[in-house]
Amino acid sequence: MIRIEVKAPKFNRKGLARLGAWFKERLTRMSLDAYRAARAPQKRRTLQTRTGKLMASISRIYRQRGPVIEAGVASSHPGAGALEYGGTLPARTLQAKGHALRFTVGGEVVYRQFANIPAVTIPPHPFLKPSVRSAGRTLRTDVRAELKKAVAALMGQGA
């Protein structure tokens, strides 16, 4: 999530007054860019697409509360946090719902009433953070260029 606070200047100058509207428009575009990057196929994709539920749960965020503007991407999928930051699934016992569980061990088919599933540690596979970071770098470059233009316009008006 990128959070920017835009405070209106006490004096109304054309160059500075435009910056508030520019930030709002640019952050809207940045959240859309981050959203597209999070959903785009990656060269080294660790996550495999099976059902598409994780991909469908990715949404863009854009909020403005007074002078504070927040933009980014988020996921409502229950497993998204574990995939983004890593996590541990605790050990559990799986009980058969029907007659028995069927699985293969060493090429031999085995039937059991229950199976002990060991704890599993999932390493982090960030998919949201890199997209926001990339969009943030672009935003930083654009902000610097826009501020230089606004200052140059103010300096030209004051002379």
pLDDT tens per residue, range 22-63: 777 777 888 888 888 887 766 655 555 677 888 888 888 877
The SS3 assignment for 94 reads strand
- What is the number of other CB atoms lying within 10 angstroms of the CB of residue 125? 13
The pLDDT of residue 83: 85
Task: Quote the pTM value.
Answer: 0.60
The string of pLDDT tens digits covering residues 96-151 is 988 899 989 899 999 999 999 999 998 998 888 888 888 878 877 887 887 788 77
The pLDDT of residue 7: 54
139: exposed, middle or buried (C-beta count within 10 Å: 0-12, 13-18, 19+)? buried
Q: Is the dihedral of CA 103, 106, 107, 110 positive or negative?
A: negative
Mean pLDDT, range 74-90, rounded to an integer: 88
